[in-house]
């Protein structure tokens, strides 16, 4: 059993190939839940699930300093299997011990997920930090599914055993939970490199591009950083065929190297800078108000081709509409 100690500190698209999926697994369970920070106190949601764990709590966080998440992790590690992987740039003492490991190499371990008791997955844009919980705009989705948890446990095992920036393909890339179709991808292994001569039809990146291409009415994008030229190309094309494309990005990221902000703005797309004086940290896309793409990667080359990341595509109008409300609220406060 892993034990650790909490220490608090102050203060144009290539040719497409692919294969058919012969059998898609199905599962029933509780309805997925969605929370938006800072209003919904995402840290409190994490704390609740970690504190109620009976078997295991395995978490991969880019960053962590939130005391009410660190405390239950440390407390539960005395009785159950608790492991945490964090990015080495943030391994500065908030949490340590033999139940904590960091990544190696230049890529970021940019995930933000927890698996509880092999049956609950909590993921999104939220790092359990004071800033992300109390100041920044973030989201988490809680999905009750042993199937999805299996995917995340296998990914976590790779990270725990030092396999960063690569790994096996996701076990169940498509599943149905309560008749809701969910697709799950881990980058970079499930997100085909754009330097390749082909983009696999099974690639998470291809799925995003395909959804943008096939949008019928609207596309809403919220991304902390937006430098992915291919995704920008597809959004520009969508706008040109009459799709209502709206984009929100973090104001401090407008001039970073490769930023697509001014480019898409020059093409006439409605892109705005967030009005939060702190950080708009979301990473999600909503297609036609019915399909949600959410997870840890920003819409950048590094987010899909280099860093350790995860994301979900959820085909559920009720869930997507909750993100629509969040997007509209922030977009209406955005700066032109």
What pLDDT is stored for residue 18 in this prediction?
A: 43
**Tens digit of each residue's pLDDT (9 = 90 or more) over 48-98:** 999 999 999 999 999 999 999 999 999 999 999 999 999 988 777 667 778
Q: What are the structure tokens assigned to 10, written together?
A: 């102050």
- Rounded Cα distance, 238 and 196, in Å: 24
- Rounded Cα distance, 218 and 210, in Å: 14
Backbone angles phi, psi at 120, to 5 degrees: -130, 130
Work out the number of other CB atoms within 10 angstroms of the CB of residue 10.
3
What SS3 string covers the chain? CCCEEECCCCCCCCEEECCCCCCCCEECCCCCEEEEECCCCHHHHHHHHHHCCCCEEEEEECCCCCHHHHHHHHHHCCCCEEEEEECHHHCCCCEEECCEEECCCCCCECCEEEEECCCEEEEECCCCCHHHHHCCEEEEEEEECHHHHHHHHHHHHHHHCCCCCCCCCCCCCEEEECCEEEEEEEECCCCCCCCCCEEECCCHHHHHHHHHHCCCCEEEEEECCECCHHHHHHHHHHHHCCCEEEEEECHHHCCCCCCCHHHHHHCCCEEEECCCCCCECCEEEEECCCEEEEECCCECHHHHHCCEEEEEEEECHHHHHHHHHHHHHHHHCCEC
**Tens digit of each residue's pLDDT (9 = 90 or more) over 223-275:** 999 999 999 999 999 999 999 999 999 999 999 999 999 999 999 999 999 99
- Spell out the domains of the chain, with CATH numbers in brackets: 29-192+212-332 (3.30.870.10)
Model confidence at 2, pLDDT cuts 50, 70, 90, reads low
Share of the chain above pLDDT 90, in %: 81
CB burial of residue 93 (10 Å; 0-12, 13-18, 19+): exposed
Quickly tell me which residue has 């080495």 as its tokens: 88
What pLDDT is stored for residue 249 in this prediction?
A: 98
Average pLDDT (40-52) is 98
- Rounded Cα distance, 115 and 137, in Å: 23
- Rounded Cα distance, 200 and 298, in Å: 21
Of residues 131 and 202, which shows the higher confidence score?
131
Average pLDDT (11-26) is 54
Q: Are 53 and 237 spatial neighbours (Cβ–Cβ below 8 Å)? A: no
Handedness of CA 159, 148, 113, 228 (dihedral sign): positive
**Tens digit of each residue's pLDDT (9 = 90 or more) over 167-208:** 899 999 999 999 999 999 999 999 865 545 455 677 899 999
Residue among 61, 54, 164 at smallest CA distance from 122: 61
What pLDDT is stored for residue 191 in this prediction?
A: 86
């Amino acid at each position: 059993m892993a034990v650790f100690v909490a220490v608090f500190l102050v203060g144009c698209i290539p040719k497409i190939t692919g294969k058919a999926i012969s059998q898609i697994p199905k599962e029933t369970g509780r309805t997925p839940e969605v929370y938006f920070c800072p209003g919904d106190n995402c840290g409190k949601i994490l704390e609740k699930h970690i504190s109620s764990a009976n078997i295991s709590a395995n978490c991969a966080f880019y960053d962590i300093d939130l005391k009410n998440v660190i405390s239950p992790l440390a407390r539960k590690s005395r009785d159950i299997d608790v492991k945490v992987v964090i990015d080495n740039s943030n391994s500065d003492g908030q949490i340590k011990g033999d139940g904590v490991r960091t990544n190696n190499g230049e890529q970021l371990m940019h995930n933000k997920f927890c698996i509880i008791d092999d049956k609950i997955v909590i993921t999104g844009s939220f790092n359990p930090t004071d800033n992300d919980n109390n100041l920044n705009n973030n989201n988490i989705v809680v999905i009750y599914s042993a199937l999805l948890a299996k995917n995340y446990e296998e990914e976590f095992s790779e990270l725990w055993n030092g396999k960063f920036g690569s790994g096996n393909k996701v076990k169940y890339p498509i599943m149905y939970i309560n008749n809701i179709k969910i697709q799950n991808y881990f980058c970079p292994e499930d997100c085909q490199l754009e330097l390749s001569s082909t983009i696999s039809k099974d690639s998470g990146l291809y799925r995003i591009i395909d959804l943008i291409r096939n949008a019928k009415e609207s596309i809403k994008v919220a991304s902390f950083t937006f430098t992915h030229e291919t995704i920008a190309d597809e959004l520009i094309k969508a706008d040109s065929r009459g799709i209502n494309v709206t984009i929100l990005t973090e104001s401090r990221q407008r001039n970073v190297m490769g930023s697509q902000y001014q480019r898409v703005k020059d093409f006439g797309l409605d892109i705005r800078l967030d009005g939060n004086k702190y950080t708009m940290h979301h990473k999600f896309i909503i297609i036609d108000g019915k399909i949600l793409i959410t997870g840890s990667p920003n819409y950048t080359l590094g987010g899909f081709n280099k860093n350790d990341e995860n994301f979900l595509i959820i085909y559920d109008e009720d869930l997507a509409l909750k993100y629509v409300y969040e997007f509209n609220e922030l977009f209406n406060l955005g700066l032109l």
